[in-house]
Amino acid sequence: MKCPFCNLQDHEIIFETDNYIFFKDKFPVVEGHCLLIPKKHVRKEEELPEGFKECSIRAWKWVEKHYSQPVTFVHPPKLQEVFHYHRHFIPSKNFKRGLIIKLLLERR
């Protein structure tokens, strides 16, 4: 099965660096729900090549500047629907802890 994150179209991408892509979640739990992924296909953060973690700082700074203190999280690998490491970002203005947890669990 092809990885949907490895085949993103240019029109889906909001921001990118040499190593990361930030884009809108195709199945958002709230408005503004986006994902940050490494361009290299890995399943877990520990599998990222040397230097990728440091490169994420530029991407994070861009996201925080445009998303004003976003709520961010990563599903454990066993709960991921797409087996490509990704971090969720939800604008804090749309964050309702109980609602988001409920919606994320219902997506399974």
Strands (E), 1-108: 13-16, 20-24, 34-38, 71-73, 87-90
Is the pLDDT assigned to residue 1 strictly greater than 70?
Answer: no
Q: How far is CA 2 from CA 67, 86, 94, 108, in A?
A: 30, 16, 32, 20
Q: Domain of 26? A: 4-106
Is the pLDDT assigned to residue 41 strictly greater than 90?
Answer: yes
* Segment 1-19 mean pLDDT: 89
* Segment 66-95 mean pLDDT: 80
**φ and ψ at residue 22, rounded to 5 degrees:** -115, 125
* Segment 93-106 mean pLDDT: 59
Q: Band of the pLDDT at 103, cuts 50, 70, 90? A: low
Is the pLDDT assigned to residue 23 strictly greater than 80?
Answer: yes
pTM: 0.79
Task: Tell me which long-range contacts 51-55 makes (C-beta under 8 A, separation of at least 24).
Answer: 51/19, 52/19, 55/17, 55/18, 55/19, 55/20
Domain count, the chain: 1
CATH code, domain carrying 90: 3.30.428.10
